[in-house]
A and B are shown apart, each in its own frame.
Chain A
Amino acid sequence: MSEKLNQEYTIDRVIHEPARLMITAYLYVVESADYVFLMQNTGLTWGNLSSHLSKLEDAGYVEITKEFMEKKPHTMAQLTEVGRKAFDGYRRQMKALFEDLPEA
């Protein structure tokens, strides 16, 4: 098995999934965002978003804060320090992986 493929196996699969990659990318560029913002920007449904955020939360990458705004439940999501470092690492890995590809 080539060295490249081995490198690919070390990729963080929690972030690597396309929907979670979009969620993590948005949370990386802002400080925190609520569900509606993430739904609008990622195009995910409420259920999908909840499921992916749960996985990110279980991995310790995202912190979910529930609060009440005008008597209505309001949920904010924020990338944790671990999540921010994991996303940085993922970016570096992917960049290295694709930059090492031979010219076509």
Chain B
Amino acid sequence: MSNRLSLRELEKKAWLRTFEHGLWDIGIGSMFLTFGLSILADFAAFAGIWIVVLMPALRESGRRLVIPRIGHVQFRERRKRAKGRLTGVLTGTTVMGVLFFAFFMWLFRGDTPVWAQWIANHFVIFIGLIWGGALVITGKLVNFPRLYGYGVLVFGSLIITDSFAGYHLGISLSLVGGLILLIGIALLLRFMRRYPRHEAPSLGARDE
């Protein structure tokens, strides 16, 4: 590591430290895992567990596990804007999903052209493109390189799913989700070992 004091490097180091805890990875992994399991169990409501249980649990974990260890920091406008653009990515992904759903509804009406049938037969690739693309764009926006890898992993696994008949989408998503979840848990354990809790006294206590 360079000993040169570089403000850009200081800022980047502080920013990347906020991703070391693995909670993002746990969130993304559990999302794909619950999607996969809901497909395998043929029980769509199962995916709702992620929103109802896991999302609040992760937010709470962030407050209880992360902030006492690495502290609380507010970044400057440039980083805030990047986080704001995330909403755009999520909205874009949702719109793409709705469009895809509408497209399938149109297909079910029958009398569709050959190209549309081809897309329908390979819909898994398009799901992979949407999810993988969303992860890569998010990684780029928040300067979080691990997301590139996850994007490629999701897209690659869905290409494999499409290539091998009988290889179930649910299995594919569960495996990818499980792998990302395990990486997240490993990162969280490393984070907790690396950064002990700081039960800091108040500043006022020093003066008294």
A31 near B72: Cβ-Cβ < 8 Å: no
Verify B73–A30 contact, CB threshold 8 A: yes
A32, B73: Cα distance in complex, Å: 6
Residues of B within 8 A of A46 (CB): 200-201
Set of chain B residues within 8 Å of A47, measured between Cβ atoms: 206
Decide yes or no whether B121 CB sits under 8 A from chain A.
no
Q: A36-B198, A47-B206 are in contact. Are A26 and B74 (CB under 8 A)?
A: no
Cross-chain contact of B72 among A26, A37, A64, A73 (Cβ < 8 A): A37
Residues of A35-85 contacting chain B, CB below 8 A: 35-41, 46-47, 50, 53, 64, 66, 69-70, 73-76
Q: Contact size class for B? A: 20 to 34
Given contacts A26-B14, A36-B198, A39-B198, contact A31 B203 (CB under 8 A): no
In the assembly, what is the distance between CA of A37 and CA of B68, in Å? 9
A46 to chain B minimum Cβ distance, whole angstroms, is 6
A17 to chain B, nearest CB (A): 14
Q: Which residues of A contact B69 (CB under 8 A)?
A: 36, 40
Q: A74 CA to B206 CA in the complex, in Å?
A: 14
Is the Cβ of A29 less than 8 Å from the Cβ of B11?
yes
> With an 8 A cutoff between CB atoms, is B1 at the interface?
no
Residues of A1-53 contacting chain B, CB below 8 A? 21, 25-26, 28-41, 46-47, 50, 53
From the candidates A36, A37, A53, A66, name the one contacting B202 in the complex (CB within 8 A): A66
The contact of A75 among B11, B68, B70, B202, by CB within 8 Å, is B202
User: SS class of chain A's interface: helix, strand, loop or mixed?
Assistant: helix
- Interface status of B7 (Cβ within 8 A of chain A): yes
Q: Using known A-B contacts A46-B201, A66-B203, determine if residue A37 contacts B10 with beta carbons closer than 8 Å.
A: no
A81 CB, min distance to chain B CBs, angstroms: 14
Q: What's the minimum C-beta distance from B17 to chain A, rounded to whole angstroms?
A: 8
Could you tell me which B residues sit within 8 Å of A by CB distance? 5, 7, 10-11, 13-14, 17, 63, 67-76, 195, 198, 200-204, 206
Provide a sorted-by-A list of 12 A–B residue pairs whose CB atoms are within 8 angstroms: A30-B73, A30-B75, A30-B76, A31-B74, A33-B74, A36-B68, A36-B198, A39-B71, A40-B198, A41-B13, A46-B201, A50-B203
